[in-house]
Amino acid sequence: MSANASASPYAASTCDVLVIGGGPAGSTMAALLARQGRQVVMLEKLHHPRFHIGESLLPANGPLFDRLGVRAAVDRIGMPKWGVEFISQQHDAPSFLEFADAWDRSMPSAWQVRRSELDEILFRHAAAEGATTIEGCQVQKVAFDADGADVLARLDDGVERRWRALFVVDASGRDTLLANQLGSKQRNPRHNSAALFGHFRGARRLPGKLEGNISIFWFQHGWFWFIPLADGITSVGATCWPQYLKSRDKPLSEFFADTIAMSPELAERLRGAELVDGKVHATGNYSYSSSICQGDRCLLLGDAYAFIDPVFSSGVHMAMTSAFEGAKVVQAFFEQPQALPAARRRFQAVMRRGPREFSWFIFRMTNPAMRGLFMQPRNPLGAKSAVLSVLAGDIYGRMPFKPSLWLFKLIYWCSTLAHAPRSWKAWRMRRRLVVDVGALPGENVLTGPR
């Protein structure tokens, strides 16, 4: 059942599970719980389709789309993505990595998608599975007691709605509703970055099969993404240290153009391209995590629990994975109390594994040693294949490639030691930029003219 918020006259309702947020995590969870026969209500503060950044998906999303039953719909909107291109100004030629060379060769490709389209597909699918979905309804507060939770929400027209739920799932994304309410949200002490981005028409893409690959351009203040979409538009963004964005003293569009000019290779691909609607977006320090991912009657999924950095396009995959694992917790809560402790332990392990596996690379992404390994990849004893497996999102199973992954990390540390002065300088600079921050996670750190 799908309901429009403006057409909802009733003042109070009850449900088994209330899901906060209608993005990939929330919609996946709502669909899975509806399949279990639960009475599920999902509240989304905006109306689909709505804009969201994060257009690049991972190969490991494919099996999740299969299990959910939406792969065909994703195929219709997606641009095939077979791998990653890396471009560094310190190297003469780009580097290409293909997912087909990963340990598990059954996931050779992924998709680039407009998130407005993908998120709506998942949201409507949850309604088709039997969840009650309400748009234009923002949750204000959740009050827990021994028997459940009272949820206060406000509709677009200002009317308040209340629900009594036995269980609450927070999939509110960067709003981090429960983490804020419980005081468990904390800035990531090892990583801090900000981004500005826009969409271009007429950007020059890679030829043939490579057209849909994501391209990563390193530059002096961080890195750029270049994500081709199926409708001819290309998403381009710069992820950089907040201190650089704080230096802005001109309109955002001009600042973005100046930033792009710092990467001649990217500037060439955008030569003659048009910035769609002239819009440039910016977001401030966004690397954070919650100290908890669950309570007696609640779960925190996806970005509502943690977000680090978009460099490896892991957000949607981790969000959906958290929903699949979280649905087992909810099922045990209602049907198998004796199995609940084990389900909670597995859920916590899954929630911690994603950020941990990706973070090792993210924290070192701007280190010269790491850049060198990506720009000149070798595959001793399967080391490159192991890294590609991580980049593909194949991190939640047995990970038989772990010994080869350890070998890659050993090679990285040896390279770091072999170029100790350069590595020390990079570490000192990163430490200064991570520690020297002034805004809390989610705040906009940009100053100056719009």
Q: Listing from the earlier edge strand, what are the strands of the sheet with 306-307?
A: 185-187, 288-290, 306-307
Phi first, then psi: give them for residue 392, nearest 5 degrees. -80, -10
pLDDT the model gives residue 146? 96
For residues 317 and 140, give the distance between their C-alpha atoms in angstroms, rounded to a whole number.
Answer: 27
Cβ burial, residue 276 (10 Å; 0-12/13-18/19+): middle
Joined together, the tokens standing for residue 85 give 């291109």
Helix, strand or coil, per DSSP, at residue 104 = coil
* DSSP letter, residue 272: T
Whole-structure pTM value: 0.92
pLDDT the model gives residue 420? 77
From first to last of its 450 residues, what are the pLDDT tens digits of the chain? 344 443 444 456 999 999 999 999 999 999 999 999 999 999 999 999 999 999 999 999 999 999 999 999 999 999 999 999 999 999 999 999 999 999 999 999 999 999 999 999 999 999 999 999 999 999 999 999 999 999 999 999 999 999 999 999 999 999 999 999 999 999 877 777 889 999 999 999 999 999 999 999 999 999 999 999 999 999 999 998 888 888 899 999 999 999 999 999 999 999 999 999 999 998 875 689 999 999 999 999 999 999 988 788 999 999 999 999 999 999 999 999 999 999 999 999 999 999 999 999 988 888 889 999 999 999 999 999 999 999 999 999 999 999 999 999 999 999 989 877 766 666 666 555 554 444 433 333 333 344
pLDDT the model gives residue 237? 96
Joined together, the tokens standing for residue 69 give 């039953």
For residues 99 and 392, give the distance between their C-alpha atoms in angstroms, rounded to a whole number.
Answer: 6
Joined together, the tokens standing for residue 28 give 């996946």
C-beta neighbour count of 160 within 10 angstroms: 10
pLDDT the model gives residue 308? 82
Nearest CA-CA partner of 192 in 413, 391, 443: 443
User: How distant is the alpha carbon of residue 16 from its chain centre?
Assistant: 28
For residues 34 and 166, give the distance between their C-alpha atoms in angstroms, rounded to a whole number.
Answer: 15
Residues in Cβ contact with 317 at an 8 Å cutoff, skipping those fewer than 6 apart: 57, 58, 60, 61, 64, 354, 393
Helix, strand or coil, per DSSP, at residue 338 = helix
Cis preceding linkage at 80, omega within 30: no
Helix, strand or coil, per DSSP, at residue 345 = helix
pLDDT the model gives residue 286? 66
pLDDT the model gives residue 245? 85
Chain position carrying tokens 């209602």: 334
Cβ burial, residue 253 (10 Å; 0-12/13-18/19+): middle
Bridge partners of residue 382, in order along the sequence: none
Where are any strands of DSSP class E within 370-412? none
Joined together, the tokens standing for residue 258 give 């100046």
Joined together, the tokens standing for residue 272 give 């003659």
List Cα–Cα distances, 357 to 314, 360, 405, in angstroms: 11, 6, 11
Joined together, the tokens standing for residue 331 give 């099922």
| CA atoms lying within 13 Å on the CB side of residue 209 | 7
Helices (H) and strands (E) in the chain, counts: 14, 22
For residues 222 and 245, give the distance between their C-alpha atoms in angstroms, rounded to a whole number.
Answer: 11
C-beta neighbour count of 376 within 10 angstroms: 11
For each of the domains in the chain, give its residue range(s) and CATH number, in order of start: 2-69+114-187+290-357 (3.50.50.60), 81-111+192-286+364-450 (3.30.9.100)
C-beta neighbour count of 26 within 10 angstroms: 31
